[in-house]
C-alpha cells in the first residue's frame, strides 16, 4: 500500500503554520497568558447587540447558513453605497484571499507583495504554485512605486497591498492609494487589504469604484467590530470578478451564527465609534509605556502599535521571549529590518497595566 498520491505541487510544499496561536504557546508553556496582546484582536469585544444576535442564532444552528449570505451582503452593500452584486461575503479575509488566488493564479504565475507583509497571502500563492516577487518596505511602509515597478517587470497577475499595513501599522493617504489604483496594468489586479480601515484616521481610503476591474477591496469584521473568532470578511469589486467567486467558493462555509452577529455589528455603528475611541486611547497608552522604557513606538493607524526595540531582530526576539516569560503574549514582524520591533495589540486598561508592569522586568532580564 503506497498511500495517498499527492500532487507534485503538494509534495514540494512544507507543512507550515503561518502563525503559531497563543493557545499552542499556552499549551507549550503549561500556563495561560495573563494578557493576550499579540494577535491583533479587538480585546474590547463585539457589540452587545452582536452577541445577542449570535446567542439567538445558536438555537437555529441545526440549519445551514444562508449560502448567499443575503441579508448581510445587502446590508454591507447599503453601508458602502454599492450594489449587492459588488459584494462577496466569506470566511474572513484569509479565506477570500485563498479563493481569489485560486481563481487567478496557476503554477509559475507572477504575484507581487512586500517582503514582510501579511504571510497568509503568500501561503495561498505558494499553495497554488504562484511565483512570489517581493519588494522591501521603505521607511517602515509598503512602497506603492516599488510594487508597481516589480509588477511591470514580472508581468504580475496580482499585487497585494495592505493599507493600513500589518505588521507595522503604517499607512498611506487616499491620494497615494488612488494613484496606485490608477497605475495598475490593465491585465493585473490590485488586492487592497483594508482590514484595519475602520481604525484609521480619515482620508486613508479612496472612494470605492466598482466599475474598476483592476482593484478588489478586502474588509473584515475581525478588527474594529471585534469578531475575529466568527470569521467574517467581505470583498468589494467589479460585479464580474465578484461573481467569479461563485465558481469555486464553499457555498455553505458561512456559519449562520456568524452571519447574524456580523449583521447586528454592522447595524451598531455607535458601538464601533466607541471602540474606535478606545483603540485611539490605547495606542497612546502603549506609546507612552514604550517611551517610559526607552523604546520607540511607531505611528499606527491600526489596533496595534509596533515598538522599535532599538537594536536588531535577535534583540527584539529576546524582548518578546522575556515578555512571554512574564505571561504577556505578543508578536513581532518576521523580516528585517522590521523585525527590530515587537507588536502590541490595543486593549483595556487592565491588559495594558499588565504589559506596563511586565515590560521593564522583561528588559531588565536581558543580558
CA–CA separation, 330 vs 340, rounded Å? 14
CA–CA separation, 275 vs 280, rounded Å? 9
- pLDDT score at 324: 96
Nearest alpha carbon to residue 279 among 23, 24, 7, 43: 43
Q: What are 7's three cell numbers?
A: 500532487
- pLDDT score at 17: 79
Residues 6+ apart with CB under 8 A from 339: 116, 312, 313, 316, 317, 332, 333
How many residues are listed for the chain in this entry?
Answer: 367
- pLDDT score at 1: 61
Query: Which residues, listed in sequence order, are joined to residue 96 by a DSSP beta bridge?
Result: none
CB 157 within 8 A of CB 129: no
Nearest alpha carbon to residue 304 among 46, 37, 72, 124: 37
Dihedral over Cα of 75, 77, 83, 84: its sign: negative
The three-state (H, E, C) secondary structure of the chain, written as one string: CCCCCCCHHHHHCCCCCCCCCHHHHHHHHCCCCCEECCCCCCCCCCCHHHHHHHHHHHCCCCCCCCCCCHHHHHHHHHHHCCCHHHEEEECHHHHHHHHHHHHHCCCCCEEEEECCCCHHHHHHHHHCCCEEEEECCECCECCHHHHHHHHHHHCCCEEEEECCCCCCCCCCCHHHHHHHHHHCCCCCEEEEECCCHHHCCCCCCCCCCCCCCCEEEEEECCCCCCCHHHCCEEEECCHHHHHHHHHCCCCCCCCHHHHHHHHHHHCCHHHHHHHHHHHHHHHHHHHHHHHHCCCEECCCCCCEEEEECCCCHHHHHHHHHHHHHCCEECECCCCCCHHHEEEEECCCHHHHHHHHHHHHHHHHCCC
- pLDDT score at 367: 83
CB 216 within 8 A of CB 208: no
CA–CA separation, 334 vs 336, rounded Å? 7
Burial annotation 313-351 (CB, 10 A radius, 16+ → b, else e): beebebbbebbbebebbbbbbebeebbbbbbbbbbeeeb
CA distances from 255 to 57, 59, 205, 245, 261 (A): 10, 13, 29, 18, 10
CB 263 within 8 A of CB 53: yes
- pLDDT score at 29: 92
pLDDT, mean of each 10-residue run, the chain (367 residues): 88 86 94 96 98 98 97 98 98 98 98 97 96 98 98 98 98 98 97 98 96 98 98 98 98 97 98 98 98 98 98 97 97 96 98 98 93
Nearest alpha carbon to residue 158 among 201, 188, 203: 188
Residue-wise pLDDT for 34-43, tens only, equals 999 999 999 9
Q: How many CB atoms lie within 10 A of CB 23?
A: 12
- pLDDT score at 62: 97
- pLDDT score at 19: 82
CB 234 within 8 A of CB 86: no
Amino acid at each position: 500500500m503506497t498511500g495517498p498520491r499527492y500532487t507534485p505541487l503538494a509534495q514540494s510544499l512544507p507543512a507550515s503554520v503561518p502563525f503559531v496561536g497563543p493557545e499552542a504557546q499556552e499549551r507549550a508553556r503549561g500556563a495561560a497568558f495573563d494578557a493576550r496582546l499579540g494577535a491583533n484582536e479587538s480585546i474590547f469585544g463585539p457589540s452587545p447587540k452582536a452577541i445577542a444576535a449570535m446567542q439567538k442564532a445558536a438555537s437555529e444552528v441545526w440549519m445551514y447558513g444562508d449560502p448567499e449570505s443575503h441579508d448581510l451582503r445587502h446590508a454591507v452593500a447599503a453601508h458602502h453605497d454599492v450594489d449587492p452584486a459588488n459584494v462577496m461575503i466569506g470566511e474572513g479575509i484569509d479565506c477570500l484571499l485563498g479563493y481569489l488566488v485560486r481563481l487567478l493564479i496557476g503554477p509559475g504565475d507572477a504575484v507581487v507583495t512586500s517582503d514582510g507583509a501579511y504571510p497568509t497571502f503568500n501561503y495561498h500563492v505558494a499553495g497554488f504554485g504562484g511565483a512570489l516577487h517581493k519588494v522591501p518596505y521603505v521607511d517602515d511602509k509598503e512602497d506603492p512605486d516599488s510594487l508597481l515597478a516589480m509588477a511591470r517587470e514580472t508581468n504580475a497577475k496580482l499585487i497585494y497591498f495592505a493599507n493600513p499595513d500589518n505588521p507595522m501599522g503604517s499607512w498611506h493617504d487616499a491620494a497615494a492609494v488612488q494613484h496606485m489604483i490608477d497605475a495598475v496594468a490593465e491585465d493585473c489586479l490590485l488586492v487592497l487589504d483594508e482590514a484595519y480601515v475602520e481604525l484609521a484616521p480619515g482620508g486613508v481610503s479612496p472612494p470605492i469604484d466598482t466599475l474598476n476591474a483592476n482593484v478588489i477591496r478586502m474588509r473584515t469584521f475581525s478588527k474594529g467590530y471585534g469578531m475575529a473568532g466568527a470569521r467574517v470578511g467581505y470583498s468589494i469589486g467589479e460585479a464580474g470578478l465578484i461573481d467569479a467567486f461563485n465558481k469555486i467558493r464553499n457555498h455553505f462555509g458561512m456559519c449562520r451564527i456568524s452571519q447574524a452577529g456580523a449583521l447586528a455589528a454592522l447595524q451598531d455603528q455607535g458601538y464601533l465609534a466607541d471602540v474606535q475611541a478606545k483603540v485611539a486611547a490605547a495606542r497612546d497608552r502603549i506609546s507612552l509605556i514604550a517611551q517610559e522604557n526607552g523604546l520607540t513606538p511607531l505611528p499606527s493607524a491600526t489596533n496595534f502599535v509596533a515598538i522599535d526595540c532599538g537594536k536588531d531582530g535577535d534583540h527584539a526576539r529576546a524582548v518578546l521571549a522575556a515578555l512571554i516569560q512574564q505571561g504577556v503574549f505578543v508578536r513581532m514582524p518576521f523580516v528585517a529590518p522590521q523585525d527590530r520591533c515587537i507588536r502590541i495589540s490595543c486593549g483595556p486598561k487592565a491588559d495594558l497595566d499588565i504589559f506596563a508592569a511586565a515590560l521593564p522586568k522583561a528588559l531588565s532580564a536581558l543580558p
